[in-house]
């Protein structure tokens, strides 16, 4: 295992799902030093306090080390170790990303889609690492802990690791205060016992990066536009906010400011900034400011949407199983039955309001799969109250008294009834013999730690997936529109559906990338072109620097993550609905991280992404299998309602012309 791998494993906090915070420049220098120490152990370089010399330029065949070796070999001058530490530190993001990828491939780390990291189950249980030769190695924290606290003499590798960690105050951050006090003398002793490690550690410690206030030159102000710049845009008036943000990014650059309607926001709109949010956003951005008022309307103090840091990681792990693709796979027969039941209610010859019909189609399925109840007509009340609360508290368009109208009071009362109904149906006796659902997981967490998830926060946690279903309902409405707007694709979907259902309803084993290839790529394109949640709002809790711009603390950050979906650099003819962009050789969505991001970026990205993709694909195929639809009117062109989420406007309607196949599954 390479030094960079063991350094990151040593710094991994299993409580927070991320790494013990070390000042960014120091951490960059430590990663650079770890590469140099590996090259020293491989007899490629040697070093003293003054000079670092090349011994052997032969590549090792290791992409983590060879670029640095090549750099040293190509430089004809002899430099100090500090010079090379600072030079290589500029590539620290590349080194850390490659290192994390390697640890995942080795089966040591698991990567959560929200940017959290955890030891794989096998490693967490055994505290040993698998290696490429099939042997196992002892987990780094156990080795270092014994060396420092149990009087064991470490091997030369561990001397170097302790020295590197000590050079950036990492040992102080890693150990509890009383442990550090006991181990301090041994840390200092061991840090000086390996010559090359001591040399590199000295270079790391002496590498100095001035604070931003000293380092900064006078920068021009952020490019800014106001209300007129918004209203004068045809794209903004059409409601296509991601495309509008992409246009502004092309005009002003990836970081710019909006000052309109009394709100001042800094916008991030590029693939590079999406990656920055994923890698570093947790250190600088927080969520709770914009969701607090909204969730208080539902009677809760906090939720997974407003949690950050260790609490968010813990909650995310607790609901992981209940939000997984496996839920849809295990209850496939129920999903198909519910879809057909909805289609029967649509009838034949009827004109259907597309957005609301899609909300009810998906809403019933989400309610049954997540909380195991039939929501009935309460979905409409829930939807109305949710939309009003978003417009009041998140978008700040409506005054608070609009949540206290008689209609809203009735809707809120229905919500409270729903809380009670879900709670009452999840006693041990009621749940005996049934597949575990999300509420079962939440109840277990509440009973195990009622302080972390108190009863006052349970209700909103219960219905959060139903609220999320409203967003998926809008995505399904966009899918039906694109089916009708692209008859050639609709024919391909119908052929794929007929093949899938030819021998009866498919189970999860029959549903794979090859049997639903067209539907899978169709859904991906719907989610690219029609991102229902077009932005994240965050508060800068610490000042930071990005794209050579200084962002002060307390700034409101608007992360326009799907703007990149309209960037011609990544997506050919981005406004064209084209499912071939997800097939070889194009694979446009795989060009780089941060390019295809329909589920958001950073720690709060959607935890049910794989569920969403499968549920949408199944419903698309079910529509193609059973229904022949037509747009009403036939020449309808999509218009988007931008608030409180992107959805087709109320004029989007369709007629059920006939049933292609009977709604009876037989």
Residue 116 burial (CB count, 10 A): 17
Which DSSP string corresponds to 504-552? SS--GGG-STTTTHHHHHHHHHHHHH--SS--EEEEESS-EEETTEEE-
What H or E segment, with its residue span, contains residue 614?
helix 609-626
271: tokens are 């693939």
What is the C-alpha to C-alpha distance for residues 190 and 280, in angstroms, rounded to an integer? 32
Across 203-212, 378-387, 433-442, 472-481, least confident range: 203-212
Residue range 167-183: average pLDDT? 85
Whether the pLDDT of residue 666 is over 70: the answer is no
Per-residue confidence (pLDDT) for residue 136, from 0 to 100:
56
Final residue before a domain boundary, out of 166, 196, 211 = 211
Which DSSP string corresponds to 408-468? HHHHHHHHHHHHHHHHHT-SHHHHTTS---HHHHHHHHHHH-TTTS-HHHHHHHHHHHHHH
pLDDT band at 409 (very low <50, low <70, confident <90, very high): very high
Residue range 157-171: average pLDDT? 86
Residues 46 and 130 occupy one common structural domain: yes
Q: What is the pTM of this model?
A: 0.87
Per-residue confidence (pLDDT) for residue 583, from 0 to 100:
96
Per-residue confidence (pLDDT) for residue 214, from 0 to 100:
42
CB 10 within 8 A of CB 162: no
* Model confidence pLDDT, tens digit, residues 486-496: 999 999 999 99
Residues 207 and 320 occupy one common structural domain: no
What H or E segment, with its residue span, contains residue 627?
strand 627-632
Residues 545 and 456 occupy one common structural domain: yes
Per-residue confidence (pLDDT) for residue 216, from 0 to 100:
44
Residues 284 and 193 occupy one common structural domain: no
Residues 49 and 161 occupy one common structural domain: yes
Share above pLDDT 70 across residues of the chain, in percent, rounded to a whole number: 96
Residue with the two structure tokens 């795989």: 590
Q: Is residue 364 part of a domain?
A: yes
Which DSSP string corresponds to 289-331? HHHHHHHHTTT-S--TTT--HHHHHHHHHHTTGGGSHHHHHHT
Whether the pLDDT of residue 159 is over 60: the answer is yes
What is the C-alpha to C-alpha distance for residues 249 and 566, in angstroms, rounded to an integer? 11
- Label the pairing between strands 255-260 and 263-268: antiparallel
Q: Is residue 454 part of a domain?
A: yes
pLDDT band at 139 (very low <50, low <70, confident <90, very high): confident
Q: Is residue 187 part of a domain?
A: yes
pLDDT band at 132 (very low <50, low <70, confident <90, very high): low
Mean pLDDT across the chain: 91
> What CATH number is given to the structural domain containing 617?
1.10.630.10
Q: Is residue 442 part of a domain?
A: yes
Per-residue confidence (pLDDT) for residue 448, from 0 to 100:
96
CB 234 within 8 A of CB 200: no
Whether the pLDDT of residue 144 is over 60: the answer is yes
Q: Is residue 603 part of a domain?
A: yes
Residues 192 and 313 occupy one common structural domain: no
State the alpha helices, DSSP H only, in 106-155.
121-126, 140-149
71: tokens are 């750099």
Question: For 219, which DSSP code?
Answer: P
606: tokens are 């959607």
- Beta strand residue intervals within 3-139, DSSP E: 12-13, 18-19, 45-47, 52-54, 109-111, 117-119, 128-130, 136-138
Q: Is residue 515 part of a domain?
A: yes
pLDDT band at 623 (very low <50, low <70, confident <90, very high): very high
Residue range 107-119: average pLDDT? 87
Across 130-134, 212-216, 316-320, 538-542, least confident range: 212-216
> What CATH number is given to the structural domain containing 126?
1.10.3630.10
Final residue before a domain boundary, out of 211, 236, 259 = 211
* Model confidence pLDDT, tens digit, residues 593-622: 999 999 999 999 999 999 999 999 999 999
Q: Is residue 226 part of a domain?
A: no
Residue 387 burial (CB count, 10 A): 15
* Model confidence pLDDT, tens digit, residues 543-569: 988 988 889 999 999 999 999 999 999
* Model confidence pLDDT, tens digit, residues 516-544: 999 999 999 999 999 999 999 999 999 98
Residue range 174-190: average pLDDT? 87
What is the C-alpha to C-alpha distance for residues 183 and 421, in angstroms, rounded to an integer? 55
Residue range 333-341: average pLDDT? 96
* Model confidence pLDDT, tens digit, residues 22-53: 888 888 888 999 999 999 999 999 988 789 99
**Per residue in 47-76, is it b (16+ CB within 10 Å) or e — as a string?**
beeeebeeeeeeeeeeebbbbbbeebeeee
Whether the pLDDT of residue 213 is over 60: the answer is no
Residue range 399-409: average pLDDT? 95
Which domain covers residue 13, as residue numbers?
A: 3-211
333: tokens are 């027969």
Per-residue confidence (pLDDT) for residue 615, from 0 to 100:
97
Q: Is residue 326 part of a domain?
A: yes
Q: Measured in whole angstroms, how far is the alpha carbon of residue 199 from the centre of its chain?
A: 39
Task: Please give the residue that has the higher pLDDT: either 304 or 220.
Answer: 304
CB 266 within 8 A of CB 222: yes
Whether the pLDDT of residue 137 is over 80: the answer is no
């Amino acid at each position: 295992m390479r030094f960079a791998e063991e350094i990151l494993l040593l710094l991994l906090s299993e409580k927070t799902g991320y790494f013990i915070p070390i000042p960014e420049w120091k951490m960059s220098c430590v990663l650079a030093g770890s590469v140099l120490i590996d090259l020293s152990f491989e007899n490629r370089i040697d070093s003293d306090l003054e000079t670092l010399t090349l011994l052997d330029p032969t590549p090792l065949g290791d992409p983590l080390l060879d670029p640095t070796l090549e750099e040293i070999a190509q430089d004809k001058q002899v430099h100090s170790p500090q010079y090379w530490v600072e030079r290589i530190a500029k590539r620290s993001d590349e080194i850390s990303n490659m290192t994390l990828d390697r640890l995942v491939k080795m089966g040591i780390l698991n990567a959560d889609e929200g940017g959290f990291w955890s030891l794989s189950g096998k490693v967490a249980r055994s505290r040993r690492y698998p290696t490429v030769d099939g042997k196992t190695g002892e987990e780094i924290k156990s080795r270092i802990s014994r060396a420092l606290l149990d009087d064991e003499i470490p091997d030369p590798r561990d001397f170097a690791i302790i020295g590197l960690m000590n050079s950036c105050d990492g040992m102080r951050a890693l150990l509890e205060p009383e442990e550090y006090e006991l181990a301090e003398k041994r840390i200092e002793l061991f840090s000086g016992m390996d010559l090359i490690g001591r040399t590199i550690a000295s270079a790391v410690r002496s590498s100095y990066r001035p604070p931003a206030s000293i380092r900064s030159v006078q920068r021009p102000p952020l490019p800014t536009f106001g209300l007129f710049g918004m209203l004068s845009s045809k794209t903004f008036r059409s409601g296509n906010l991601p495309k509008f943000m992409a246009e502004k990014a092309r005009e002003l650059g990836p970081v710019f400011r909006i000052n309109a309607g009394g709100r001042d926001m800094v916008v991030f709109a590029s693939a590079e900034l999406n990656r920055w949010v994923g890698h570093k956003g947790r250190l600088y951005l927080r969520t709770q400011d914009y969701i607090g008022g909204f969730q208080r309307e539902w009677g809760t103090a906090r939720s997974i949407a407003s949690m950050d840091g260790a609490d968010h990681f813990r909650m995310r792990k607790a609901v992981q199983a209940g939000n997984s693709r496996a839920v849809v796979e295990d209850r496939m027969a129920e999903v198909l039955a519910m879809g057909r039941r909805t289609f029967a209610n649509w009838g034949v010859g009827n004109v259907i309001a597309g957005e609301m019909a899609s909300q009810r189609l998906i809403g019933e399925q989400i309610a049954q799969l997540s909380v195991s109840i039939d929501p009935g007509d309460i979905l409409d009340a829930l939807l109305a109250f949710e939309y009003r609360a978003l417009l009041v508290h998140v978008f700040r368009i409506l005054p608070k008294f609009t949540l206290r109208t008689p209609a809203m009071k009735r809707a809120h009362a229905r919500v409270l009834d729903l809380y009670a109904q879900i709670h009452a149906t999840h006693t041990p006796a009621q749940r005996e013999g049934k597949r575990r659902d999300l509420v079962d997981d939440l109840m277990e967490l509440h009973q195990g730690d009622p302080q972390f998830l108190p009863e006052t926060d349970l209700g909103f946690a219960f219905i959060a997936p139903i609220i999320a279903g409203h967003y998926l309902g809008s995505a399904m409405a966009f899918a039906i529109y694109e089916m009708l707007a692209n008859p050639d694709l609709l024919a391909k979907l119908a052929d794929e559906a007929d093949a899938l259902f030819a021998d009866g309803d498919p189970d999860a084993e029959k549903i794979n990338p090859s049997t639903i290839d067209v539907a899978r790529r169709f859904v991906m394109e719907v989610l690219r072109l029609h991102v229902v949640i077009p932005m994240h709002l965050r508060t800068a809790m610490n000042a930071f620097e990005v794209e050579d711009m200084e962002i002060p603390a307390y700034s409101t950050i608007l992360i326009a993550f799907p703007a990149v979906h309209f960037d011609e650099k990544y997506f050919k003819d981005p406004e064209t609905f084209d499912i071939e962009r997800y097939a070889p050789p194009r694979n446009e969505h795989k060009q780089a991280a941060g390019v295809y991001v329909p589920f958001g970026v950073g720690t709060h990205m959607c935890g049910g992404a794989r569920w969403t993709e499968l549920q949408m694909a199944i419903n698309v195929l079910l529509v193609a299998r059973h229904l022949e639809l037509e747009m009403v009117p036939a020449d309808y062109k999509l218009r988007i309602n931008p608030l409180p989420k992107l959805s087709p406007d109320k004029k989007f309607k369709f007629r059920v012309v006939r049933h292609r196949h009977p709604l009876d599954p037989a």
